Amino acid sequence: MKDFPIRFVLTDEAITPSAGLALVGYLLHRTKLDKRVNALRLPTVRREVHISHSDVIRSMIGLLATGKTDFDHIEAYRQDDIFSASMGIQHVPSSPTLRQRLDQLACLPMTETIIWEESMRLLVRQHATLSPCWAKGKTTWLPLDIDASPFDNSDTKKEGVSRTYKGFDGFTPLFAYAGKEGYIVHAELRPGKQHVQDNMPSFLTTAIRRARPLTSSRLLVRMDAGNDAEANVHVCLKEDVDFVIKRNLRRESKALWFQIASQKGRRVDDGQTEGVQTYELCLPQTAAIDGHTYTYVQVTQVTERTMERNGQLMLVPDYEVESYWVRLEGYEHVRMSDVLALYHDHATCEQFHSELKSDLDLERLPSGKMKTNALVLVMGAFVYNLLRLIGQDLLSDPRHPLHHKVKRRRIKTIIQTVITMAGRLVRRSRQIWMKLTRRSGYSEPLLNVYQKWREAR
């Protein structure tokens, strides 16, 4: 039998399986993250330390960008000059140092604030494209989706782990996504048993104020029935943003709603299906806030079914009711078809949750301390935005190898095709070069994106 032609040999050449980390490091270089983080003072850490705060933060960001969350994974990069050069790290910390320093930084509320502010400023500076979800005339609306997604941390004794509404033990973090691309503008780690509406007005206010500088379109807040509280409506009205919030009917009678809709609403079904009647009702609502009166509408659709699909008559009619609080600037009479289209698009949040939990492997957070896990989640949101920014800019390049049209690439795809791209590090004339093979379909688009970023400085 003929011998296998490939032989394995060892080499001292600087070859990396993560050449795309250089893009992440370049984006971090365009922020003031290092200066601001290093200015933080910890009582248990002396002023001059061998490993700076920025080295710790950048190291964790580098791990997250490759889809790794465990602190012990940093040990594989301690002797890797390419990792440190790509991420701009002076000294890569050990696993215990990484864990302990993040525990200490997590105790300072300013740490999370700095990461969030630099993340938002970077999106503005890089002119991140955020696509609207709806347009009428000259007005466009940018979605701001608020949603919770339980993280399964069963069989652990981490602080804050408790029973979630999904029936398992874990956390119930809250997220705010802007644009159809799903950039994260706010995230908050919460105990599993905490209700989604707890402290929601404060969370919503922060999310709106962070999202506003990212777009010239009107913001459209979309929330599900777990947040049908008047406090959320009042926040949206005070902040002058539009909203679509699904109502929870609770103990309201569906039969009574049908009577009201049939008397005051309009019939919207075509009448061709026997035994089915659908009515739409738009009721004006008012809210008095700080001496000002605001208006919005409650849009309700009620369907009565008196016959099964096989023609069998029902003894008792079956009712379906969907109701929403809606405000769209300039439109007092909103059609239910528009509301349903806008709200159903809110389900895209589940894809964003999946990318965070699966692609970035953030579901089972690495620390036993609640504050440290909260900081890791914030850094994960920062990395998520960085990878999303890289992916969207690559899609806009005409040399992108993907031929069919897509609006967004999954974070997992960006990690597999860009971050884990093979490269060779070359040091010459006091400069560092990352060489990529021409045979990769992503090398030339990646180089074009990098050059575009440099020219836009």
E-strand stretches of 101-150:
134-136, 139-148
pLDDT at 149: 96
pLDDT at 2: 64
Half-sphere CA count of 306, side-chain side, radius 13 A: 7
Question: Which of the 8 DSSP states describes residue 190?
Answer: -
CA dist., res. 252 & res. 117, Å (int) = 43
Asked which of 160-169, 190-199, 436-445 is least confident by mean pLDDT, the reply is 436-445
Beta partners for residue 170, in sequence order: 152, 162
Token pair listed for 20: 């795309």
CA dist., res. 139 & res. 135, Å (int) = 6
CA dist., res. 201 & res. 290, Å (int) = 16
Q: What is the mean pLDDT of residues 433-439?
A: 82
Amino acid found at 177: Y
Which residues 6+ apart lie within 8 Å of 342 measured at CB?
A: 133, 134, 143, 220, 222, 244
**Three-state secondary structure call for residue 296:** strand
Q: What is the 3-state secondary structure (H, E, C) of 223-249?
A: ECHHHCCHHHHHHHHHCCCEEEEECCC
Q: What is the mean pLDDT of residues 370-398?
A: 93
CA dist., res. 310 & res. 307, Å (int) = 8
Amino acid found at 53: H
**Three-state secondary structure call for residue 2:** coil
What sign does the dihedral 205-208-212-217 (CA atoms) show?
negative
- Please say whether the beta carbons of 198 and 220 come within 8 A: no
pLDDT tens track for 227-246:
999 999 999 999 999 999 99
**Three-state secondary structure call for residue 327:** strand
Reference 256, options 323, 176, 201; nearest CA is 323
405 pLDDT higher than 80: no
pLDDT at 455: 82
Tell me the pLDDT band of 444, cut-offs 50, 70 and 90: confident
11 pLDDT higher than 70: no
Reference 72, options 99, 103, 95, 97; nearest CA is 95
pLDDT tens track for 388-404:
999 998 887 766 666 56
Beta partners for residue 223, in sequence order: 245
Q: What is the mean pLDDT of residues 45-49?
A: 68
Which is it for strands 218-223 and 242-246: parallel, antiparallel or unpaired?
parallel
pLDDT tens track for 55-72:
999 999 999 999 999 999
pLDDT at 299: 95
CA dist., res. 446 & res. 395, Å (int) = 10
CA dist., res. 268 & res. 340, Å (int) = 14
pTM of the model: 0.93
Which residues 6+ apart lie within 8 Å of 167 measured at CB?
A: none
Tell me the pLDDT band of 423, cut-offs 50, 70 and 90: confident
CA dist., res. 363 & res. 409, Å (int) = 20
Q: What is the mean pLDDT of residues 412-434?
A: 85
Reference 118, options 30, 40, 178, 186; nearest CA is 30
CA dist., res. 407 & res. 388, Å (int) = 11
pLDDT tens track for 70-121:
999 999 999 888 899 889 999 999 999 999 999 999 999 999 999 999 999 9
